[in-house]
Amino acid sequence: MAKGEQIEKPLAWIRATAYNIIREQSRELRRFSQFDESMIESHVNCSPTVSEEIEEELFKRVKLAFEKLEPEEKEILILKEVKDFSWNEIKLRLVLQGKEVTNEATLRKRKERALKRLRSIYHSLEPQNV
């Protein structure tokens, strides 16, 4: 330790330190893995008109991926991400529609799964590099 303190339980200290290092590295990887290197290169090396074409293509791909989601997944994403409803408002709306919602944590997990599925569908629609 930098302070010159004696470590009473070295094994516990090593575990906690390793956990913190792994957590920080995981956060960094998640932050940077959201960017597709090929997309970054194409935006850097292209003219504005090509950039607009790429953006339009990406938008079409997102729209197509969104259309492939289940209706409830779409609704949760629209209510939360587009309309910025609170989880309580979303829960009340779904209950009024006769859908079973146990609690807000369930809705958060459904949104997380819907986003994961949307990303998966989106990436499956990418043209394959040959």
- Sequence-distant (≥ 6) Cβ neighbours of residue 95 within 8 angstroms: 101
Percent of the chain beyond pLDDT 70? Answer: 79
| Predicted pLDDT at 86 | 93
pTM summary value: 0.57
What tens digit of pLDDT does each residue of 61-74 get? 899 999 999 999 99
Query: What are the residue ranges spanned by the domains of the chain?
Result: 68-130
Q: How far is CA 66 from CA 7, 28, 31, 53, 78, in A?
A: 53, 27, 23, 20, 10
Mean pLDDT value of segment 41-63: 73
Is it the case that residue 18 has pLDDT exceeding 50? yes
- Predicted confidence band of residue 77 (pLDDT cuts 50, 70, 90): very high
Start-to-end CA span in the chain (Å): 51
At 120, the pLDDT band (50, 70, 90 cuts) reads very high
For residue 58, the model assigns a pLDDT of 85
